[in-house]
Amino acid sequence: MSDSILDTIVDANRQGALRGIYSVCSAHPLVLEAAFDRAVRDDSPLLVEATCNQVNQDGGYTGQTPEDFRQAVLAIAQQRGFEIARLVLGGDHLGPSPWQHLPADQAMANAEAMVAAYAQAGFEKLHLDASMACADDPVALDDRVVAERAALLCQAAETAAGDRRSRLRYVIGTEVPTPGGAQEHLDTVEVTSTADLRTTLETHHRIFAASGLSAAWSRVRAVVVQPGVEFGHTEVVDFVPEAAAELSDAITGWPNLVFEAHSTDYQTPAAYRALVAGHFAILKVGPALTFAMREALYALDAIAREAPGIETVDLRTTLERTMTADPRYWQAYYHGSDAEQQFARHFSLSDRIRYYWTRSEIAEELERLFQGLETRPIPPTLISQYLPNQYAAIRAGELADAPRSLVRHRIGETLATYAQACFPQSASDTRRVES
């Protein structure tokens, strides 16, 4: 049996088992804590990924290099009692996306340096995505150029990994829309055609071989396609298994490969099970987790305002002020009147607010909120009012009524729907009290 967690999952899925893995795409400590708690509860592996814009050699929007991110994740894993051997670290959309404003040769040089940094830092799962056009490119790149650039990225990773290159596992392909999510009204989403799948795989296979990367190609484990799932600001396009049936069958002609599905946030539990059954064995989730976190934090903010004797904070006001002062992470996505844009800033499913939680002024407000709620017991009737599922868990003896525990539990509810699809035997209803 392979000693790679991804190999084991891919092998099981290809043999017809309802087995997959969800990918937690977030750098927020509360989200990561909740994810490790869920994996400990399920006795399952955990895949944690960083994106090219979030973490890169220049720091990304989190200010973290790949090595910084790795150390931060390992520290949280140890704190939450998770066995490090069951952790898989991944890099998502690794390519020229952060440098698209530059000519292709400069953007690709930066992208190769980034992929090398991920490989050197010990990341195992690398999504090679050179599908985006750079400053001197045509609007749409042809498959050959995309594959040639992916091969350059692969070579950079193989060289940087050195003796541990055999541990690297690759994902190729991209979804539509590209990173950042849909911006317009959604009705339906076109499923990737089997012809497009075949072109992507055949072109990459041929160019990897011509580039001396046949050994690396043997470690490609997934291809990103569009199974027909997406979300906008207030709506979700649900997975329709029948629409993706032909695509699901097509992957069986390629050994050792499964699909990676992006934008699976907010799907139903039945959809996640159907995705895994259709060989969409890697399910990406990100905004849905920080959306759940935001729901819980806003609930705690409301509780603090209602509870007698607890210091209130200006969390919403501080967030609004910070987001309007620096609109770079939402302005291109939220449109309409001032009121509609304000609503989207706080309640859109695309959750662009996630880019602001680690700002110092907001982190300080959050800490004040937590400290205020920790000074005295939270009235249980207010937990019932604003966090009814968490109140039920407290009544059942499954959850402590500490504010951070309430937030982690709310995030964990979202994670549970993924766990039950990916690890149905381990994702049981075993009860435990979270401190």
Mean pLDDT, the chain cut into blocks of 10 residues (435 residues total): 83 97 97 98 97 96 96 98 98 97 98 98 98 96 97 98 97 69 64 96 98 98 97 96 98 97 97 98 98 98 95 93 97 97 98 95 96 95 98 98 98 98 73 52
For the chain, how are helix, strand and coil distributed in percent, rounded to 5? 50, 10, 35
- What's residue 427's pLDDT? 60
pLDDT of residue 1: 34
Peptide linkage before 96 cis (omega within 30 of 0): no
How far are the Cα atoms of 254, 285, 357, 399 from residue 24, in angstroms, in the given order?
Answer: 26, 6, 17, 23
What's the Cα-to-Cα distance from 293 to each of 5, 41, 182, 257, 285, rounded to whole Å? 28, 19, 21, 33, 13
- pTM to 2 decimal places: 0.95
pLDDT at position 183, please?
47
- What the chain holds in terms of domains, given with CATH numbers, is 5-286 (3.20.20.70), 291-411 (1.10.400.20)
Q: What's residue 118's pLDDT?
A: 98
Sign (positive/negative) of CA torsion 159, 162, 166, 172?
negative
